[in-house]
Amino acid sequence: MHVLFVHQNFPAQFGPFAFRMAQSPAHRCTFVTQKVDGLYHGVRCLKYEPRGGATEASHFCSRTFENGIWHAAGVHDALAAAAPDIRPDLIVGHSGFGSTLFLRDLYPRVPIVNLFEYFYRVTGADLDFRPDFPARPVDRLRARARNAMILLDLENCDLGYCPTEWQLSRMPDEFGPKLRTLFDGVDTTLWKPDAAAPRRIGDRDVPSGTKIVTYVSRGMEAMRGFDLFMKMAKRLYSRRPDVLFVVVGSDRICYGGDSRFTGGKSFKDWVLTRDEYDLSRFVFTGLMPEPALANLLAIADLHVYFTVPFVLSWSLFDALACGAVVLASDTPPVREVIEHGKTGLLAPFFDGDAFVESAARVLDDPAAFAPLGRAGAELVRENYSLDVSYPRFLTLCEEAIALPRVRT
């Protein structure tokens, strides 16, 4: 079976499936991406380039769709130039970061499976969750328009899937019959508990008596509660002299409109100017290589995770897989994964007292909460690991290939 993956980034969500698939002589993988060209772990990567995109002159509400069209056209043109060498049996694309819309014209008889991460709604999720960072009226209009390419992909694909049930519940009901739930898959040979992991962060040794509290996010922003984490951290280190807070992530805003509130500063710098923080109690690592991050999560005494109702971060699953005790915001997507008091701890997103008190209890008696870390790791192995997700992915591929080809 020759599977053609389409994603703007690489390896992104499809990497775990593609790399494992490429290890089998029964499968062949091609990955069309904007990032790389060549052979990686048995996966042939073909680079595409969008030849245009939205500009300041484009309507604010149409820019996402215009960019999506340019990317879809770039994917089409790169594959058209590579034909007939690439003749897939199945196409798997990420709606939003690699639309497969125009590939019907290149491969009219090839089934298409799309990954759908998020369907934008005006109420009840990320857009209206934080009243302290209110959306503008035009943001509400844009949220509706951002679904344009997603809706085209929903109509065009043969089957689709969402990583979690909460994400699936956001999709339009009329497309429910062609949608499944399938998580990306956590590589538990890397993300796992490690009692022998060295207590080091970069070139810094961490004394055995120091408690390590971690926070991981691709960017530092309101949607992932970076400001609330910093407030919680200050209250904790004011009570305890033995805590080191390790913040992993880049100093940028990946989601949301925080830049409208920061006066030109990054969200991190804006947060730090709004209070006095003892920065000697923090280590800001930037982005970390995966092995180093796995080591950090394995030695963490507590991992703190904030999110508004939105797509869950990989870091949540990685921390659970590494056996960290996780304290997370009690929002619907998190509740699907963590059961309070059994596989982790939950506290209301805006309840700083609850976060501080829960964190303090864990740090006061780590041994009493260690079973939560073990249960979290087992949860990932049983429900979210690559060993579980990959066979389900193959079944989905076979289901799509078996469908009658009646669409062009």
**Minimal CA–CA distance to 74: which of 42, 107, 46?**
46
How large is the greatest C-alpha to C-alpha distance in the chain, in angstroms?
67
Sign of the C-alpha dihedral, residues 144, 145, 148, 149? negative
pLDDT of residue 253: 86
- Round to whole Å and give the CA distance between 219 and 234: 20
Our CA dihedral for 135, 12, 36, 223, rounded to 10 degrees, sits at 20
Q: pTM of the entire structure?
A: 0.94
The 10s digit of each residue's pLDDT in 113-133 is: 999 999 999 999 999 999 999
Range(s) of the chain covered by CATH 3.40.50.2000: 2-185+386-402, 200-384
pLDDT of residue 329: 98
Phi, psi of 8 (to 5 degrees): -55, -40
pLDDT of residue 53: 93
Q: Do 18 and 43 form a contact (C-beta atoms < 8 A)?
A: yes
- Round to whole Å and give the CA distance between 180 and 408: 23
Give the Cβ contact number of residue 283 at 10 Å: 18
pLDDT of residue 48: 96
**Minimal CA–CA distance to 176: which of 165, 186, 185?**
165
* Residues linked to residue 159 through DSSP beta bridges, in sequence order: 113
* Residues linked to residue 47 through DSSP beta bridges, in sequence order: 33
Which CATH number is associated with domain 2-185+386-402?
Answer: 3.40.50.2000
Structure-token pair, residue 292: 């180093």
pLDDT of residue 406: 61
Q: Do 213 and 180 form a contact (C-beta atoms < 8 A)?
A: no
Sign of the C-alpha dihedral, residues 321, 342, 338, 257? negative
pLDDT of residue 198: 94
- Round to whole Å and give the CA distance between 71 and 228: 36
Note the CATH architecture for domain 200-384: 3-Layer(aba) Sandwich (3.40)
Query: Counting Cβ atoms within 10 Å, is residue 123 exposed (0-12), middle (13-18) or buried (19+)?
Result: exposed
| Residue owning tokens 């260690």 | 370
The 10s digit of each residue's pLDDT in 47-56 is: 999 999 999 9
pLDDT by residue for the chain (408 residues), tens only, comes to: 999 999 999 999 999 999 999 999 999 999 999 999 999 999 999 999 999 999 999 999 999 999 999 999 999 999 999 877 899 999 999 998 778 999 999 999 999 999 999 999 999 999 999 999 999 999 999 999 999 999 999 999 999 999 999 999 999 999 999 999 999 999 999 999 999 999 999 889 999 899 999 999 999 999 999 999 999 999 999 999 999 999 999 998 888 888 899 998 999 999 999 999 999 999 999 999 999 999 999 999 999 999 999 999 999 999 999 999 999 999 999 999 999 999 999 999 999 999 999 999 999 999 999 999 999 999 999 999 999 999 999 999 999 999 987 666
CA 167 distance to own-chain centroid:
12
- Round to whole Å and give the CA distance between 92 and 4: 6
